[in-house]
Structure 1
Amino acid sequence: MPKSEFAPAKINLTLEILGRRADGYHELRSLVAFAHDAGDVVTLAPGSSASVETSGSFAGDISGSNLVDKAISAFAAKVPGMKPPRLILDKNLPVASGIGGGSADAAATLRLLSKSYPGIADRDLHTIARALGADVPVCVRARPVIMTGVGETLEEIALPQEVYAVLVNPLIAVPSNKTAHVFAALGAAPLTAPPEAEPAPRLSNVRDVIAYAKARGNDLQAPAQKLFPEIETVLAELHRTEGALFAQLSGAGPTCFALFATKQEAVAGASALRQRQPNWWIRPTRLG
Structure 2
Amino acid sequence: MPANPEFAPAKINLTLEVLGRRGDGYHELQSLVAFARDVGDRLTLGPGTAGETKVEGPFASALAGPNLVDKAIAAIKRLAPDCQLGSLTLEKNLPIASGIGGGSADAAAALRILSAEYPEVAKLDLEAVARTLGADVPVCLRSKSAIMTGIGEEIRDVDLPGEFFAILANPLDEVPANKTAEVFRLLGAPPLPTNSTAERPPVLSSFGELIRYAATRGNALEGPARQIFPQVGMMLSELAKLPRCRLAQLSGAGPTCFALFDTQQAAAYGARILKSAQPQCWITTTRLM
TM-score, normalized by length of structure 1?
0.97
The corresponding residue for 1:234 is: 235
**1:194 positional shift:** 4.5
Q: Distance in 2 between matches of 1:154 and 1:249?
A: 21
**1:104 positional shift:** 0.3
Contact persistence 2:83–2:120 (CA under 8 A): no
The corresponding residue for 1:181 is: 182
The one-character-per-residue Cα deviations of 1:80-134 (angstroms, maximum 9, x if unpaired) are 2223421010000000000000000000000000111234458710111000000
Using the TM superposition, name which of 251-260 and 200-209 deviates more. 200-209
Pairing of 1:94-113 with structure 2 (within 5 A): 94-113=95-114
SS of 2:196's equivalent in the other structure is coil
SS of 1:248's equivalent in the other structure is strand
The corresponding residue for 2:33 is: 32
Equivalent position amino acid for 1:148 in 2: T
SS of 1:197's equivalent in the other structure is coil
Contact persistence 1:100–1:135 (CA under 8 A): yes
SS of 1:161's equivalent in the other structure is coil
Label 1:51 to 1:2 Cα distance change in 2 as closer, same or farther (>3 A).
farther
The percentage of counterpart residues that share the same residue type is 56
Using the TM superposition, name which of 206-215 and 43-52 deviates more. 43-52
Contact persistence 2:29–2:152 (CA under 8 A): yes
**1:4 positional shift:** 1.4
The corresponding residue for 2:117 is: 116
SS of 1:247's equivalent in the other structure is strand
The corresponding residue for 1:91 is: 92
Gaps of 5+ in 1: none
The corresponding residue for 2:249 is: 248
Q: Distance in 2 between matches of 1:91 and 1:11?
A: 17
Equivalent position amino acid for 1:66 in 2: N
Equivalent position amino acid for 1:189 in 2: P
The corresponding residue for 1:284 is: 285
**1:47 positional shift:** 2.0
Runs of 4+ aligned residues of structure 1 deviating over 6 Å after TM superposition are: none
State yes or no: 1:199 paired with 2:200: yes
Gaps of 5+ in 2: none
Equivalent position amino acid for 2:262 in 1: A
TM-score, normalized by length of structure 2?
0.97
**1:145 positional shift:** 0.3
Label 1:52 to 1:27 Cα distance change in 2 as closer, same or farther (>3 A).
same
The one-character-per-residue Cα deviations of 1:143-198 (angstroms, maximum 9, x if unpaired) are 00000001000000100221111000000101122000100000110113142232
Equivalent position amino acid for 1:250 in 2: S
Contact persistence 1:162–1:205 (CA under 8 A): no
Contact persistence 1:2–1:46 (CA under 8 A): no
Q: Distance in 1 between matches of 2:79 and 2:195?
A: 33
SS of 1:267's equivalent in the other structure is helix
Equivalent position amino acid for 2:10 in 1: A
Pairing of 1:159-170 with structure 2 (within 5 A): 159-170=160-171
Equivalent position amino acid for 1:282 in 2: I
State yes or no: 1:7 paired with 2:8: yes
Equivalent position amino acid for 2:264 in 1: K
Pairing of 1:61-76 with structure 2 (within 5 A): 61-76=62-77
State yes or no: 1:273 paired with 2:274: yes
Equivalent position amino acid for 1:90 in 2: E
Aligned residues: 288
